Amino acid sequence: QVQLVESGGGLVQAGGSLRLSCAASGRTFSSYVMGWFRQAPGKEREFVARITWSSGSTSYADSMKGRFTISGDKAKNTVYLQMNSLKPEDTAVYYCAARALYGNIWDWGQGTQVTVSS
């Protein structure tokens, strides 16, 4: 299993920026898809972005395109989510997740709270 630890959440004003980090350990990184999801109180979990670790290919939810950027540092086994132009509706717990390239079961981090004030 892979262990995931998120960090970087906190309070930020609308229009500001925040960078989340996800440190992975336990398994090799190269065969994984890494993703970010979020969940606000009373709402379902929502896909944010993903990156295929081996190729660097990325994908984003439509509402995040142009504002959020997912990237990784293989040497540090760490995935990042750069969040710009933040809005109050971005307030949620953000979760890092990982799955095997050809698998369908995600492993999850503990989550980190992001709160955007107006």
Express each pLDDT in 60-96 by its tens digit.
Answer: 999 888 999 999 998 898 999 999 999 999 999 999 9
**pLDDT score, position 50:** 96
Predicted local confidence at residue 2, as pLDDT? 87
Question: Residue 10: pLDDT band by 50, 70, 90 thresholds?
Answer: very high
d(CA 28, CA 50): 17
What digits encode the pLDDT tens for the residues 13-58?
999 999 999 999 987 666 789 999 999 999 999 999 999 988 999 9
CA-to-CA separations, 46 to 60, 63, 75, 77, 93, in angstroms, rounded = 11, 11, 29, 24, 10
